[in-house]
Amino acid sequence: MDITLSEIRSFHALVKYGSFTKAAQYLGVSQPAITSQVRRLEARTKQVLLERYRKEVKATDFGVQLFELSCEYVNLDAAVDELFNQQSSAENFELQVATSSTIIFMPLMAEFRTQYPNSRLKVISGTTTSCRAAVLNREADIGLFPMLNAPKNVATMAYHRHSLVAVLNPKHHLAQLDSADISVFSDESIIGGKADSFTQLYVNQLFAERGITPKIDMQMALCEQICDAVAFNLGIGFCLLDDLRPDNSRYRLVPIDCKEEVVEHVSWLKLQAKKPGIVEFLKVASCLKTVI
């Protein structure tokens, strides 16, 4: 019977805290992840482990026996982690990193590799939404993106601050503006980003605050693609300033008047704060960050 430690850990937390929500918060994962792990465990054991009620769960008689055994597994898990922390070298660890802001954080990752040449960074690039999920589901050790309204189990470090800009073709009649309210672009054909990207959600919010529904005629996955479309005069786009490289020959950047700039964060699960590699990565980030 190939029961995994993750399944035991999820079951243990569920019985201990009495609900899927509290178990997920304790482990720093999503509620569906807990549900999936426990379902797999019940399928492997071919036993009903839990009695499910509307707002809580309780262990069956067999589940109580398994819970008592699971305490030993959880203690073993903690002991292994402690041993690993004592013996691991910062020269051979592996870190999973999820980022939606590669241009901003590339120097940080490069400096980390310079200081720890024998370490390995496995980088996941995606939208802020997908990167946030990767951190919460323990698919990534470190998150590099704007972490707004961080859950209680997540720690953050403000790293970089930048603002929203409109990207316009140099021949566009608004391209020479020094700055503009986003409402100025209400009648323009807009080249949008991914629907769940932070920038697109932010742009939608700014338009909504002014009672405007933007005309999004195209959607692109990356800022570079938005800029290419602008260069071919297919519409205007919006990007966060330091997520793209300026190129005045192909497009102009017009700052959008906003109350606050967007802050990019380094984020990690609090329970993993002492994991080898995370401590070292945070030290490097602390030295390079531009937000005081």
What class does CATH assign to 5-86? mainly alpha
**CATH classification number, 94-161+263-288, choose in 3.90.45.10, 3.30.230.70, 3.40.630.10, 3.40.190.10:** 3.40.190.10
Alpha-carbon distance 139 to 153, whole Å? 15
- pLDDT tens for 86-135 read 545 546 788 999 999 999 999 999 999 999 998 899 999 999 999 999 99
Burial class (CB in 10 A: 0-12, 13-18, 19+), 239: buried
Work out the percent of the chain whose per-residue pLDDT is above 90. 55
For residue 46, name the pLDDT band (cuts at 50, 70, 90).
confident
Domain positions in the chain are 5-86, 94-161+263-288, 164-260
pTM for this prediction = 0.69
- pLDDT tens for 169-221 read 999 999 999 999 999 999 999 999 999 899 999 999 999 999 999 999 999 98
Task: Note whether 94-161+263-288 and 164-260 share their fold.
Answer: yes
Rg (CA), the chain: 23
Q: What is the mean pLDDT of residues 227-237?
A: 96
Alpha-carbon distance 11 to 34, whole Å? 8
